[in-house]
A and B are shown apart, each in its own frame.
Chain A
Amino acid sequence: MSLAAWLVFMTSQVAFAMETVYQQPVEFLAENLAGCQKQVLWLKGDTKARIEKLVDHPYPGVRIRYCEKEGKTAWVLDEIGKTEPITSGIIVDQGRVEQVRVLIFRESRGSEVHRSAFTRQYQNAALEGDQSLDRYIDGITGATMSVNALNRQVKLALLLDKVTRERSNDD
């Protein structure tokens, strides 16, 4: 019986997850910020702590890559919805979201977050302090964890954009 219960758990957690590629990250950058310059942001000082406070979990690594062109930054970020990472591309223009797109979705449910009707809600959104968006994002029934993951990604992209601008001002 325990083996059967284990099988139910494993199959529900692992086997039914699928990967849907809506757009390759490289194509997303080429389409939305063509000719941008790839750079890395080193998570120095308290940056990592700010990120971890925002996403509410440990953040792996000490550098994050992004693409920059004429003051706009593009971020391709992974965030776990329920068990699998969702890869999203986010373009930020001077602290405001210009474009959000779900690029790769790997969860078994909640893929509705990739629809433009949902991601359009983030357009022009900005960060209030370090923690929250300046607007309310309507959720999707049955996709709460994916919506939360996308909210975290957008907030993270805005925070990282803020850090890059803070650093360039310091320089």
Chain B
Amino acid sequence: MRRSFFRKNLVTALLLAPAALWLVVFLVLPFVAIAIFSVGERAPEGGYQAALTFAQYANLPARATAFWNTMVLAPIGALACLLVAYPVAYYLALRAPDRWRLILLAMIVIPFWTSLLMRTYAWMYILGGRGIPALLTYVGIEDLRLINTPGAVLLGIVYGYLPLMILPIYVSLERLDRRLLEASADLGATPLSTFLGVTLRLSLPGVMTGFSLVMILLLGEYLIPTLLGGGKVFFIGNALVDLFLQSRNWPFGSAIAITLVLVSVVVLIIANRISTRLSGARRVDLI
């Protein structure tokens, strides 16, 4: 009896060991490493020199523009995504004909899993000098600048993250008890008040999940501001690439990375609080 108990535990440990090792070596240790780096100093030739100082954190305002751009454009981008995504999710969950639903859903998921680089490149192509601006010269609008503007970055954000916003909202709307809608209508509610009081209210957990997911991924975004914002609209991700790969100020970069993770955690906690208040959080399957 005791032997089989031991064997059962051994099997469990063997099953979990590779994943545990991976998580420790490539997630926990690296995180500890940048936490240590963030309280260090920059070596004269670049890289890291051991120290215990909060100078790197005190220096964060030096990259205030990157933080400002990210903190302004990420929520706006997530909100814009939400405004476009909600009607689509609503249609897919409650209005689409049954035989179309799965096909349309697949058509939403596919872009999410295709290269963000290639999809952002497509917009670079469209908004760039030989795309829409070239077409507009035919109708007399000259010298219109579309690429390398905050608007272009926002467009790229909505394009890139729309699928991720639609899916959780779809999931929460699809599980909605249709009888509640009928009950609301039977009790004399107008379609608008049914929507506001029942549909929207019950889909809020999905909205929160989508919003926080998109928001967190946007906080670390690099490709979209780089390709569609040129050198003009840069995010925290751009500052990090610069500090680690060009100016090699690793301690300062680590401090920024830690700050970024802390902000993400705060966003997640707030979103979680709101979701649990609005009736239990729900699972989201990304596929």
Q: Do A and B associate with each other? A: no
A-binding residues in B (CB < 8 A): none
B-binding residues in A (CB < 8 A): none
